[in-house]
């Protein structure tokens, strides 16, 4: 497990009207980490997005519909898990989860089941100076999509 990454099991409360699911609780779960922006992305089946990271921002993700394979790569030289890869599957359903990763952790995902809608909550607002983009076939990461 990459240092600082959190995968959170979500509870779903059902009744005859539908369901309610709490995704993130601020600040109790992420004390001291600000919330800067909430974004929504729609992704078609088979699409791979990655490698992408942030120099200054942490990020929370929640898949509303669909299923993805998530791959994280610790790109932080000062981390105990530097250069470690982490792969997991996440998506909609009764066993729904959300995940968090700190700044400096590169992330990518492949949409396995569409339509896939994902909500991103970042600790800052979009800034090109914060963005890190690395090609999917980068040899230093050694991951084959």
Question: What digits encode the pLDDT tens for the residues 40-84?
Answer: 999 999 999 999 999 999 999 999 999 999 999 999 999 999 999
Quick check: is 1 in a domain? Answer: no
Residue 121 resides in a domain: yes
> Does the pLDDT of residue 94 top 90, yes or no?
no
Q: Is residue 20 part of a domain?
A: yes
CATH number, domain with residue 96: 2.60.120.10
Residue-averaged pLDDT of the chain: 93
pTM: 0.90
Q: How confident is the model at residue 28 (pLDDT cuts 50, 70, 90)?
A: low
Q: Is residue 68 part of a domain?
A: yes
**Is 29's pLDDT higher than 90?**
no
94-132 burial, b for 16+ CB within 10 Å, e for fewer?
A: eebbbbbbbbbbbbbbbbeebebebbebbbbeeeeeeee
Which run of H or E residues covers position 12? strand 12-15
Residue 62 lies in a domain: yes
Q: Which domain holds residue 71?
A: 6-133
> Is 145 a domain residue?
no
Closest CA to 9 of 72, 90, 78: 90
| Number of domains forming the structure of the chain | 1
């Amino acid at each position: 497990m990459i240092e600082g990454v959190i995968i959170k099991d979500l509870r779903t409360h059902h009744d005859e009207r539908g369901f309610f699911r709490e995704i993130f609780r601020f600040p109790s779960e992420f004390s001291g980490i600000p919330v800067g922006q909430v974004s929504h992305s729609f992704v078609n089946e088979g699409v791979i997005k990655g490698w992408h990271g942030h120099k200054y921002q942490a990020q929370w993700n929640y898949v509303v519909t669909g299923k993805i394979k998530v791959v994280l790569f610790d790109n932080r030289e000062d981390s105990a898990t530097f250069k470690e890869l982490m792969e997991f599957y996440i998506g909609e359903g009764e066993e729904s989860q959300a995940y968090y990763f700190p700044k400096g952790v590169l992330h990518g995902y492949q949409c396995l089941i569409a339509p896939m809608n994902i909500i991103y909550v970042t600790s800052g607002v979009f800034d090109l100076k914060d963005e890190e983009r690395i090609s999917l076939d980068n040899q230093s990461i050694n991951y084959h999509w």
